[in-house]
Amino acid sequence: MKIIYSAIGLKSFRENDTLNVAFIPTMGALHDGHLHLVKTAKSKGQFTVVSIFINPLQFNNKEDLLKYPKSIADDLKKLSEIETDLVFIPDFESIYPSNNFNEIQLPQTVLENVFEGKHRPGHFNGVVQVLNSLFNLVKPKYVYFGQKDLQQCMVVKKLIEFKFSEIEFNMVETIREISGLAMSSRNVRLNEKSLNFASEIFKSLTRIKQLKSISRIDCENEILRLKNYEISTEYLSIVSLPNFEETFEEKNAGAVVFAGVIDGVRLIDNLLL
């Protein structure tokens, strides 16, 4: 497994190869969800590049950024075990060169300004900036993103349509703990009790998915139910895809989406309908 730490290093590597690269951007603290993305690309025989970069621009909450878990040695071990081909661990200057950083402006629609966009102002703009920089450096042919961050997937698809039409976008299913809780780097900050309580999120999403017709009341009831488990819901609703417009009409319902806080840790999840 090759490891590259700078934009210059990656540029010179990419200049001398003719690889069709599959790219999986991450912020590290890797778990089986991340590894599943790599394994999916590997199962297609693709050359896999994983980046590890905690992108300050996408954190609207300073404390969340400071507390974001870091485990580079462990991450490298996991990536090497599944035979990742290349790991890119850039420094800030490699991603945002002070003498040559051009901010990209994605045309704004509803998508960037609702749900995650509303609750985390500036978040998607930060995601778009880091991916613009990473895509330009890595020059992937394929990219893999997790359904766990469904709204991010829709933003990435839009970025690709806008500027990187040569890239093939792939969305990969959410990997869960046995309890149903979606794997997340932030789960390590939860104690045993909160982990148990957090598994109620998946139960709520499943109950809503199983309903024949869904109303706002059903979502509100689940929000109340989650309160009993010390989960403070920011949103639990039904959206259309790809635009994330709230809807309770069956023909437009694309996904049930959730965000909430338990024990000071913000979690998100969703199920496709």
- Binding to ligand AMP by CB under 6 A, coded x per residue (else -) over 211-250, reads ----------------------------------------
Task: State the nearest-atom distance from the C-beta of 217 to ligand AMP, in Å.
Answer: 29
Nearest to 236 by CA among 213, 270, 261: 270
Q: What's the CA gap between 132 and 86, in Å, rounded?
A: 19
Nearest 5°: the CA angle 196, 202, 205 is: 145
Among 31, 34, 119, 123, the active-site one is 34
- Binding to ligand AMP by CB under 6 A, coded x per residue (else -) over 145-184, reads xx-xx----------------------x-xx------xxx
Interface with ligand AMP, residue 197, by CB under 6 A: no
| Pairs from 40-44 (Cβ < 8 Å, separation ≥ 24) | 40/144, 40/170, 40/172, 41/142, 41/144, 41/170, 42/82, 42/83, 42/84
**DSSP conformational letter for 103:** -
Q: Helix or strand or coil: residue 177?
A: coil
Interface with ligand AMP, residue 34, by CB under 6 A: yes
119 catalytic? Reply is no
> Please, which residue, 84 or 214, has the CB nearer to ligand AMP?
84
Task: State the nearest-atom distance from the C-beta of 147 to ligand AMP, in Å.
Answer: 7
Among 10, 36, 194, 236, binds ligand AMP (CB under 6 A): 36
Nearest to 211 by CA among 248, 181, 243, 259: 248
Interface with ligand AMP, residue 123, by CB under 6 A: no
Peptide bond preceding 242: is omega within 30 degrees of 0, i.e. cis? yes
Any idea which residues carry the catalytic annotation?
34
Binding site for ligand AMP (CB under 6 A): 26-27, 33-34, 36-37, 145-146, 148-149, 172, 174-175, 182-185
